[in-house]
Structure 1
Amino acid sequence: MSLNVTPLSPRTPRSRAGEAPGSRDFIARAEKVAAIAEPCADAVDREARFPAEAFAAIREQKLLGMLVPAELGGDGARAADVVDVCAILGRACASTAMIFAMHQVKLACLARHARGAAWQLAFLSEVAERQLLLASSTTEGGNGADIRSSEAPVRVAGGRVSLQRDASCISYGREADALVTTARRSDGAAKSDQVLVVFRREDYRLEPTQTWDTLGMRGTCSVGFILRAEGAAEQVLAEPYERIHSQTMVPYAHMFWSAAWCGIASGAVARARAFVRQAARAAGGRMPPAAAQLTRARLSLETLRGAVQAGVANFERNAADPGGLATTEAQLALTMLKVEASELATTTVLTAMRACGLAGYRNDSPFAMGRFLRDILSSPIMINNDRILASADPAVLMSEAPTALSL
C-alpha cells in the first residue's frame, strides 16, 4: 500500500539556494517516517506503548524542530507544512501523528511568544539541535478539560520558580524531554490568570496517579501524574497565557489535530480501496456491492480535506493581520474546524469499514478496520465536541453567518 498522499497544504516549499539539500522537503521526510511507523502501528496499539521506532525516525529526519525559526537552527516551517506531516503520519500510525501534533503545538507556543527572551530562544535552539520532544500539561484533576482554568499556582522566589499540580493527563510524559505547562500566575491570582512554563526533564518528577487503558489512541500513553517541578524564573513566559491560548494554542491545535484525523481517514479509505480492488479482481472485474460505500467514503474524505485546507487558509489569512486571530469570526472558524473535521473523519472511517464488510470487521483480516475506527473515535471525545460547541455558543450569537462564498 503506497504511503504517498496529496499534500493538504496548497503550497509546500522546496529547497532554496543556500539551504541544505532536502532541509525543507517536509513531505519526503515525513513519508520516510511513515514507512517505519506503519509496520509498528498494530503493536503500538496492542501494547499501548509509545511509538519509539517512529520517533527515532522523526529525530533522524529532524522534524521535531521544524517550527523553530531558521536563525535558531530550525527549518522555519509554516503551519501548513506541519499540517502535511501530521496527515502523512496519521495515515500510518494515529498515535505517532497525535503525539507529533501535540509537540508541535507546544513548540509553536514557545516560538511565537518568546518575545526575544534569552532563555526561551536558547531552549528553542536546543530543541532543533537535540531534537527534544515536548509534552503538554494543561488539565488538572479539579478542572476537567477546561484548559483556561488552573488550580495550581507557580511560586517565584529567589530567581527560582516552582510548581506542584495534579495533572490529570500528560500524554507521553515519561518519554518527553521537556514539559510545557499552564499554571495560575500566583497564589492570589484568579484561576483564569495563567502563565505558560517550560521545564526540562531534569527539572521535574512525575508520580503516576492513573493508568491508560483506552479504546483507541493507546500509544499516546496519556497517563495522569502528580507533577513536582522547579527551575529558573526565566522559564516562565512573559506573555500572558490568555493571549498565547487564542493566538497560537487553539489555532495550531485545531489545525494539527484535524490534519492527523484526516490522515487516519485517508488510511482507512486506502485500505477499503485495496479490499474493493481485490474483490473486483476475484469476481472477474465485476464491482462488488460494497463499492458504493468506497465512493461515499472517498467523497467524505475529500470534504474533510477541503475543510482542513480551508482552515489553514483562514489561519494564514488572519495571522497576517496583527489582530486577525483575535476576532470572533476567526476564533469561531477555527473552533468549527475541529468539530467538523472530527465528525467528518469519523464518518469517513465508518463508511470505509462498511466498504470492507466482514473483512473490515474482523481483527484477523488484512483489511481490518478496528484500529482506524477506535483511534478516530477519540477525535470527538478526547477533546470533547460538546464542550467546544458550548464554549462557542456566545460567539455564534454575536457573529452573523457570511453570505459570500469567496475567501
Structure 2
Amino acid sequence: MPDAAVIDLPKTDWIALADQVGHEIAATTARHDEEDSFVEEGFRALKAAGFFKALVPAELGGRGADYRDICSAIRRLGTYCGSTALAFSMHSHLVAVPAWRWRHEKAPVEGLLKRVAAEDLILISSGAADWLPSNGRAMKVEGGYRVTAKKIFASACQMGDLLVTSARHEDAAGGPEVLHFAVPFKAEGVRRLDTWRVLGMRGTGSHDVVLEDVFVPDAAIVARREPGKWHMLYHHVFALAFPLVFAAYLGVAEGARARALEIARAKPKTSALVTATGRLENAFMKAEIAHEQMIRIAETEAAGPERTSRAGIAHTLTAQAAVETVERAMDVVGGSSFYRDLGLERAFRDVQGARFHQMQELPQLELSGRLALGMGIDG
C-alpha cells in the first residue's frame, strides 16, 4: 500500500443514499425510456450525494467507500431506474480499478484519482467493444500521439468530463501496441454522435464518440500492452468492473420481482400462480448467488487467468439468472405484463443488456474451457 496516512471518514450509508436518489428519479424513468433521452436527473442527484467520488480512497480526497457497498448501492438504484444504475456503474468501474491498483500495486494513478475527487469528475468508458484488440489509430508525433477513432457504448457521455479509452499504435518499435489514456471531452477533435436508439437501457445515453486527430500527450499514456492478448490490467478490469456493472441488472431483476409479487398477492392463489411464484423465487436466488460470487472473487482471489475464468462463469450465470428472473416475473403477472404502464415490459428490455457485455457467453465458455483443458488463456 502507498505510504499515506489512512483516513477514517464517518461511515456513509450508500444504500440509503441510493434509495434517496431512487425516490427522486423514479417518476422520470418511463419518460426517458420513451424519449430515448439521457437520465440527467439521476446523474445530477448522484453527484449531489457524492457518488462519483465515492470509490476514490479517502487518502486521495475521496469518500473511501467500500467496493461491496457501491455494488449494493448500484443494485438498489437498478430497482428504480436501470439506466441510471448502469450508466453510473460505468463511471464506478473506471474508479474502482485504479483505486485497487493504487492500494495494492502502488500504480501511478494517484493524479487521476485526486482529480476525480477534487473536481468531482465523471469518467466515461469507451465500451467493451475495444476489449483486447482495441480500435482506432494512434500516430506518434512530437510530444505525444494523434488519435483517430470511433468509440461506441460511451454511456453518459452527455455529462462526461474524461473519456477513458485506448487506441492502437501500429508503428511502435517493439511491434503493434495498444495505448490506454484519458481524453477531455472538451479537447479539440472530440465529438459525440447521437446514435443510441436501442432495445433497452435507453436512458444510459450510450452514444458513439468520435476522436478526430486528437492530440494525446505522452504523459497521458497510462498503460501499453500487446493487442489481442490478455494483460494483467485486463484481469483486473474483468474481475473488478463487472460486479459493479451486473449489480445494475440484478437491481432490474429485483425490481421486476417486487412488482410481480405486489400484483400476485392481490390475485386468487391458484396452484398455477403459486408454482409460477416459486419459479420466480428460484430464479432470483440464482441471480443473487451468482452475483455474490462475482463480488467475492473480486474481493478475495488473486488476479490472473484462473480468477478471470471463474469471474467469467459467475458473470454468465448472473446474466442468465437476471434475464430469467424478469421472464418469471412476467409469467407470474400474466398478460397484463405486456402493457408498458406496468413497468415489467421495460424491465424485460433493460435486462437483455446483460447478455451483451464482455465476455459474452460463447467467448466465456471458450475461455473457461481452454483453461480447464490446460490450453492457456490466449487462443
Shorter chain as denominator, the TM-score bin is: 0.7 to 0.9
Q: What letter matches 1:195 in structure 2?
A: L
Compared with structure 1, are the counterparts of its residues 153 and 243 closer, same or farther at alpha carbon in structure 2 (3 Å cutoff)? farther
Q: Distance in 1 between matches of 2:174 and 2:355?
A: 30
Tell me the residue number matched to 1:233.
Answer: 218
Q: Distance in 2 between matches of 1:113 and 1:153?
A: 27
Q: Distance in 2 between matches of 1:57 and 1:213?
A: 25
Name the TM-score, length of structure 1 as normaliser: 0.81
1:165 alignment partner, SS class: strand
Compared with structure 1, are the counterparts of its residues 18 and 148 closer, same or farther at alpha carbon in structure 2 (3 Å cutoff)? closer
Tell me the residue number matched to 1:38.
Answer: 26
Q: Distance in 2 between matches of 1:72 and 1:17?
A: 9
CA contact (8 A) 1:149 1:192 kept: no
How far off is 1:73 after superposition? 0.9
User: Which of 29, 36, 46 does residue 58 from structure 1 map onto?
Assistant: 46
Would you say how many aligned residue pairs link Structure 1 and Structure 2? 362
1:74 alignment partner, SS class: coil
User: Which of 370, 387, 395 does residue 363 from structure 2 map onto?
Assistant: 387
Is it true that 1:83 corresponds to 2:71 in the alignment? yes
CA contact (8 A) 2:239 2:294 kept: no
CA contact (8 A) 1:169 1:222 kept: yes
User: Which of 140, 153, 165 does residue 169 from structure 1 map onto?
Assistant: 153
How far off is 1:378 after superposition? 1.6
Compared with structure 1, are the counterparts of its residues 331 and 190 closer, same or farther at alpha carbon in structure 2 (3 Å cutoff)? farther
CA contact (8 A) 1:276 1:287 kept: no
Is it true that 1:336 corresponds to 2:313 in the alignment? yes
How far off is 1:127 after superposition? 1.2
Compared with structure 1, are the counterparts of its residues 25 and 397 closer, same or farther at alpha carbon in structure 2 (3 Å cutoff)? same
CA contact (8 A) 1:134 1:177 kept: yes
Is it true that 1:358 corresponds to 2:347 in the alignment? no
1:342 alignment partner, SS class: helix
User: Which of 132, 136, 140 does residue 152 from structure 1 map onto?
Assistant: 136
Compared with structure 1, are the counterparts of its residues 67 and 349 closer, same or farther at alpha carbon in structure 2 (3 Å cutoff)? same
How far off is 1:129 after superposition? 2.8
Q: Distance in 1 between matches of 2:64 and 2:87?
A: 20
**Match runs of 1:221-370 below 5 Å:** 221-228=205-212, 229-238=214-223, 240=225, 242-247=231-236, 249-280=237-268, 286=269, 289-318=272-301, 324-326=302-304, 328-364=305-341, 367-370=342-345
Tell me the residue number matched to 1:4.
Answer: none
Is it true that 1:198 corresponds to 2:186 in the alignment? no
Q: Distance in 1 between matches of 2:107 and 2:344?
A: 47
Tell me the residue number matched to 2:115.
Answer: 126
CA contact (8 A) 1:151 1:184 kept: yes
Name the TM-score, length of structure 2 as normaliser: 0.86
Q: Distance in 1 between matches of 2:320 and 2:106?
A: 39
Q: Distance in 2 between matches of 1:250 and 1:218?
A: 24
Compared with structure 1, are the counterparts of its residues 251 and 191 closer, same or farther at alpha carbon in structure 2 (3 Å cutoff)? farther
How far off is 1:269 after superposition? 0.4
Q: Distance in 1 between matches of 2:14 and 2:57?
A: 15
Tell me the residue number matched to 1:98.
Answer: 86
Q: CA RMSD in A?
A: 2.7
Q: Distance in 1 between matches of 2:18 and 2:331?
A: 29
CA contact (8 A) 1:138 1:182 kept: no
Q: Distance in 2 between matches of 1:28 and 1:339?
A: 29
Q: Distance in 2 between matches of 1:98 and 1:212?
A: 15
CA contact (8 A) 2:195 2:207 kept: yes
Q: What letter matches 1:325 in structure 2?
A: A
How far off is 1:205 after superposition? 3.5
Q: What letter matches 2:303 in structure 1?
A: L
Compared with structure 1, are the counterparts of its residues 190 and 31 closer, same or farther at alpha carbon in structure 2 (3 Å cutoff)? farther
Q: Distance in 2 between matches of 1:329 and 1:117?
A: 23
For structure 2, which runs of at least 5 residues remain unmatched after alignment? Answer: 1-5
Compared with structure 1, are the counterparts of its residues 37 and 388 closer, same or farther at alpha carbon in structure 2 (3 Å cutoff)? farther
CA contact (8 A) 2:74 2:251 kept: yes
For structure 1, which runs of at least 5 residues remain unmatched after alignment? Answer: 1-15, 140-144, 281-285, 319-323, 400-407
**Match runs of 1:111-122 below 5 Å:** 111-113=99-101, 120-122=109-111
Compared with structure 1, are the counterparts of its residues 79 and 189 closer, same or farther at alpha carbon in structure 2 (3 Å cutoff)? farther
